Amino acid sequence: MNLDDFSDLIERPDNGMRRDAEERRERLAVAPGALGRLDELGEWLSAAQASVPVKAIEQPRVVLFAGDHGVARLGVSGRPAGTSHELVRSVLDGASPVAVLARRMGVPVRIVDAGLDCDPELLPDEVVRHRVRRGSGRIDVEDALSAEEAEAAVRLGMAIADEEADSGTDLVVLGDLSVGGTTPASTLIAALCGTDASVVTGRGGAGIDDLAWMRKCAAIRDALRRARPVLGDQLALLATVGGADLAATTGFLLQSAVRRMPVILDGVVSAACALVAQRAAFRAPDWWLAGQLTGEPAQAKALDRMALNPLLSHSVTVGEGTGALLALPLVQASAALAAELPEAAPDLTRPEAASDGADVRASS
């Protein structure tokens, strides 16, 4: 598998439709620009859907890729290593932030176990049946995945994207459920942006103290040394310093763009995968929205590199797609306004309207 092949498969959203949407917007009763970014979002949706007026977002879905990371054993996370399955269980039980919000919004949640480090019997079969491997390697001293596992994880993400597109999902809220996942994510971003570990090291979703931050920074520094020799090969990069869940997310993002299915990104993990996907296919980010700015330095650097402007900035670091889900109502509102606002009545006081009337009288 060569991820560069996606560059030939992914097309940009329909710019002709975007121009038609812009022209239609100028005819609406509400003055152009008065709705701020909602206008921009409506035009983006029109281009993505190839439809003017834009269609309502009727079948959104939250998709969460889950996995554990060996680097968490170094104490780089606020949660104990190997406990991502507890995060999964909390979502399934409806007790997590994303579960509460999704229930309130009526949005279904799908969890895909790409690399959890737990007995499969602890979770439902529909969650664990896709697992690529049990946990990912400690990226500061060993590869996260073998080459075969990395390819299998990417293909898993591609298959999930196809399933969602085939089932009628018209927008995906993308998130992750992981312990230690921000460390490989930050490593990928540092490697692809050519920066140092200290620039991208944040406090993570669970929050860490200064000592844990220093351990995390050291782990990213060591992982970066291992990442730089394989920067030219995105699949090898994911195998070296990524993880099963990150590789699956990358495959999902690429195939979603192939299938013209818009995606809202959440935090630093989805941003890192998006950056890897952008390196493989430069048009792919045209199909994504940045749902929120978390305050994680690595996420800000990745979004800046992809020229994605976040919709919200509430410093939501809990993960799980929570921040991206908070942005969904804005996207839905933009679609409703673009589709349902009436066009303005003709202004008969305009000079051109008056001259038209004079011409008619003269001809009579």
**Catalytically active residues, by annotation:** 320
Q: How many CB atoms lie within 10 A of CB 207?
A: 13
Q: Which residues pair with 66 in a beta bridge?
A: 113, 177
357: Cβ contacts below 8 Å, ≥ 6 apart: none
Residue with token string 């291992």: 226
Secondary-structure percent of the chain, ordered helix, strand, coil, rounded to 5: 55, 10, 35
Of residues 269, 307, 316, 313, the one with CA closest to residue 288: 307
Task: Provide the token pair at 151.
Answer: 């390819």
Rounded distance between C-alpha atoms, residue 193 and residue 185, angstroms: 12
Whether the Cβ atoms of residue 6 and residue 284 lie closer than 8 Å to each other: yes
Angle at 16 (CA atoms; ends 160, 273), nearest 5 degrees: 30
Task: Provide the token pair at 288.
Answer: 């994504």
**Order of strands, edge to edge, in the sheet holding 109-115?**
109-115, 60-68, 171-179, 263-265, 288-290
SS3 (DSSP) at 112: strand
Residues in the chain: 364
User: Could you give the C-alpha distances from 286 to 4, 12, 140, 161, 198, in angstroms and in order?
Assistant: 17, 6, 33, 17, 30
